[in-house]
Structure 1
Amino acid sequence: MIYMRALYFICFAGIIMLGCSCSYKQNQVLFEKRAATVDTISQTATTVSYQIQPQDILQIRNLQSLRYIVDEMPVSATSGSSNNAASQGQTFQVEEDGTVALPAIGHVQVAGLTRTQATKLIEDLYRKSLLKDPIIELKVVNLKVTLLGEVKAPGNFPIVKDNTTLVEIIGQAGGLTPAANEKNIKIIRGKGKVQHVTEIDLSNLNSLSDPRSILQNGDIIYIAQNKRAIRTDNLQNFNTWIQPTLLLLNTALLIFTLGRR
């Protein structure tokens, strides 16, 4: 009788552990707490516009024309891909000396300038030498961040506009998974051995106006698992070895019980 009770107890314990491993509830809370005022947050960081660097790839087009920067440049009317490329603009690489070679105006020093400053400079140069009232659009198309961890689609994401925020990139990745720790999202920034880690709490509404959440080229964003997900994983790992052990014990007890009859 004692052995039968032990058998029932072991079976019951196994069922309980299996049930615990399967239970999971998403309790993410985004943008609700107000742990600090916007003024307090804004004093901890300042927004710095990206400055163009050598090896950057610039996409430039004249919004006054569907053609390339210079209206006289030929565009094939029979090639759909050529027309699409023209509408998107040409791409130009910034050389090691910080200049970019542009049609008709030659080398222009752009390294160290923000996107807005470089746009104005190129507009002025084309206005003086070739085009009437050009409206230049300039994008730095090689900028990107890397998003890792508990998001639905991790990977590399381009920074296509100034002041791209953490929330926007997470949105592009499909949002957080149920296992994500929304209270401690790490932004790793720096080069070589010098790395700076910024922690953002997305459960705090003021994180939306936190200037530290504005991303820069080369940032690595890591979203770890929350405690609930870690506990669930630990239980699942525990079950991977406890289940065979319980099965072996149950079998041994059953054989022993039948042998005593």
Structure 2
Amino acid sequence: MLCLFVTSCVPHRDLVNYQAGIPEAAVQPIGKRPEIIVQPNDVLRIDVFGPTDRIVAPFVNQSSKGTTVFDVDAIQLGGYLVSERGTIAFPQVGEIAVGGQSVLEVRNVLAGLLEPFMKTPVVNVRLLNFRVTVSGEVGQEGALNVLNERITVPEAIARAGGLGEYANRRNILLVRESGGTREYVRLDLTSADVFTSEYFYLRQNDLLYVEPLRAKSGAIRDQTSKTVPIITALATILAVIINLTQNR
């Protein structure tokens, strides 16, 4: 029983986040949030505003009408899909290169291209497919849609149901694809350094994998081993009953 207790319990230090590096009564400046960089297969929503509806009408994506902010799939269908070459086809303007640019840069480029058609155009650009995936030792694995283009590592884990009982807080794997490359980063949630990390803010299509502790495999094996004493006890009781019956 002592061995079972030792192998199945998780130490308290393995269950606490941000154990080291938290300053006492100190204020730290918040780092600048990284800009969203447009990549191939992204979906952009582009809204154009001008002097009159008649002037703006040729630049409105008709398929985006009638959708609501809660219908994510419908909104994405009404957006502009970035091609593998990093371009979009915009009405009246033609093919525009947007890949590798920030959302703000795309907005400025479009505003400049629309100036021949209207005076002081106002362009709003949003990324519609900002999605991160959380898997592993969390409450609920899955992909998370982010409408405000801003989500942090702790927030993503919280939206996935939080860390599980056997989550390894010292070894969170972040997989990020950008510019045709794939990056692997290990994050330690027991350290406050995660707040100042350049990976604190997630980007579109990031994957977070929460690794389980080794204690989990021991606990799973214990579930099968627990049946052995029960079967042994039942067999002993049955043997005693049979022995008593035969002696009568």
Q: Which secondary structure does the structure 2 equivalent of 1:252 belong to?
A: helix
Q: Say whether 1:51 aligns with 2:37.
A: yes
Q: Which moved more, 1:96-105 or 1:250-259?
A: 250-259
Secondary structure (helix, strand or coil) at the match of 2:226 reads helix
What is the Cα deviation at residue 155 of structure 1?
A: 0.4
Residues 49 and 163 of structure 1 are in contact (CA less than 8 Å); yes or no, is this contact kept in structure 2? no
Q: Which stretch shows the higher mean deviation, 177-186 or 154-163?
A: 154-163
Q: In structure 1, what is the equivalent of residue 79 of structure 2?
A: 91
Structure 2-normalised TM-score?
0.69
CA distance in 2, matches of 1:153, 1:200: 20
Distance apart, 1:148 and its partner CA: 0.7
Instruction: Mark the CA change 1:25 to 1:252 in structure 2 (over 3 Å): closer, same or farther.
Output: farther
Query: Which has more radius of gyration?
Result: 1
* 1:28 equivalent in alignment to 2:18: no
Unaligned runs of 5+ in 1: 1-12, 37-46
2:89 aligned partner:
101
Residue 130 of structure 1 corresponds to 117
Structure 1 Cα separation of the partners of residues 69 and 146 of structure 2:
22
Match of 2:47 among 58, 61, 78: 61
Change (3 A) 1:146 1:119: same
SS at match of 2:194: helix
The one-letter amino acid of 2:91's match is P
| More helix as a share of residues | 1
Separation in 2, partners of 1:243, 1:257:
21
- How far, CA to CA, are the matches of 1:21 and 1:240 in structure 2? 17
Q: CA, structure 1 residues 70+152, in 2 after alignment: closer, same or farther (shift >3 Å)? A: farther
Q: 1:260 to 1:98 in 2, by over 3 A?
A: same
Structure 1 residue matching 2:132: 3-state secondary structure? strand
Q: CA offsets, 1:196-231, max 9 Å, x none?
A: 432211121221221133334443221123355444
Which residue pairs with 1:157 in the alignment?
144
Deviation at 1:182, TM superposition (A): 1.9
- Paired amino acid for 2:40: P
1:119 to 81, 104, 107: 107
Q: Go from structure 1 to structure 2 and tell me whether the alpha carbon gap of 1:20 and 1:134 turns closer, same or farther (over 3 Å shift).
A: same
Q: Give the structure 1 partner of residue 208 of structure 2.
A: 221
**Distance change in 2, residues 1:196/1:173 (3 Å):** same
- Aligned length, in residue pairs: 230
User: Shift in Å at residue 29 of structure 1?
Assistant: 0.9
Where structure 2 has 5 or more consecutive residues not aligned to the other structure, the ranges are 24-32
Shift of residue 116 of structure 1? Answer: 2.0
Q: Deviations over 1:82-130 (max 9, x none)?
A: 444599694111234432111232221112212221122112222x123
**CA–CA distance in structure 2, aligned partners of residues 184 and 94 of structure 1:** 34
